[in-house]
């Protein structure tokens, strides 16, 4: 029977295996586009659905929004297994908090829980770039949490290999006073343009709307259909 070698310093071992000098280098090949933004009537979350392993498209139907509870959503970017496992664990801990304290966990506290959990594994190979959003007593909340334990609060985030393309559309069209339909269209359009330019994003655009009474799934639209829908629309005038 073959046993793996005893490793006294797992972080150093992993960093060596992921470096250029390793004989059989471990290299994560990942890509996605996710975004979320706050506006006057809640939070819009929009994601693509393509899973890739380098140039290989593994799936076009990945659910990259994780429904933590009826008031909290998490997004998936980086390693699918890492994001799925830790955000489901966050859902378990959020439920325990609710049972112990007789009230729902806040978005800030939920994001801090996730940050603290993954920080304990910093340098051990986790790959996560997630957004945690929802509605609590303070209103809508939006936080970014990554696998190093970094936690940021803002009104707008885009995460993944296609995020730079999504930011271009978001920055051009974002306004706090958007109507619900305008905000949904902005999220959907931003993801579409990212999938058009980024080979590692694609599939369908899934959109959620977070409101005071909880999140609502809005739509799932194939980017192929969106391409021809937008192609027929008049182009904006250049400044």
Residue numbers annotated as active site:
32
How far apart (Å, rounded) are the C-alpha atoms in residues 186 and 44? 9
Asked whether the beta carbons of 70 and 52 are under 8 A apart, the reply is no
Tokens of 53: 């392993």
Residue for token digits 């986790």? Answer: 126
Q: How far is CA 233 from the centre of its chain?
A: 29
Could you say which DSSP state residue 115 is in? H
Measured between alpha carbons, how far is 138 from 114 in angstroms, rounded to an integer? 19
Residue linked to tokens 């978005």: 107
Check if the beta carbon of residue 67 is closer than 8 Å to that of residue 73: yes
Tell me how crowded residue 239 is: count the other CB atoms within 10 A of its CB: 3
Burial 146-161 (b: 16+ CB within 10 A, else e): bbebebeeeebbbbbb
């Amino acid at each position: 029977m073959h046993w793996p070698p005893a490793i006294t310093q797992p972080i150093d071992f992993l960093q060596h295996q992921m470096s250029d000098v390793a004989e059989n280098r471990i290299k994560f090949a990942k890509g996605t586009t996710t975004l979320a933004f706050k506006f006057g009537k809640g939070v819009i979350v929009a994601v693509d659905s393509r899973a890739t392993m380098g140039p290989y498209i593994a799936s076009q139907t990945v659910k990259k929004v994780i429904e933590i509870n009826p008031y909290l959503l998490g997004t998936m970017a980086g390693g699918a297994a890492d994001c799925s496992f830790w955000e489901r664990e966050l859902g378990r801990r959020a439920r325990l908090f609710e049972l112990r304290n007789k009230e729902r966990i806040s978005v800030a506290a939920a994001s801090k829980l996730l940050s603290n959990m993954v920080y304990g594994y910093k340098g051990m190979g986790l790959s996560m770039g997630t957004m945690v959003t929802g509605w609590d007593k303070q209103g809508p909340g939006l936080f970014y949490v990554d696998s190093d334990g970094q936690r940021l609060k803002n009104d707008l985030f885009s995460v993944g290999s296609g995020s730079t393309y999504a930011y271009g559309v978001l920055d051009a069209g974002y306004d706090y006073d958007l109507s619900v339909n305008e905000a949904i269209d902005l999220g959907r359009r931003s993801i579409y343009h990212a999938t058009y330019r980024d080979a590692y994003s694609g599939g369908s655009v899934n959109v959620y709307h977070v409101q005071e009474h909880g999140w609502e799934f809005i739509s799932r639209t194939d980017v192929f259909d969106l391409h021809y829908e937008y192609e027929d629309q008049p182009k904006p005038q250049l400044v």
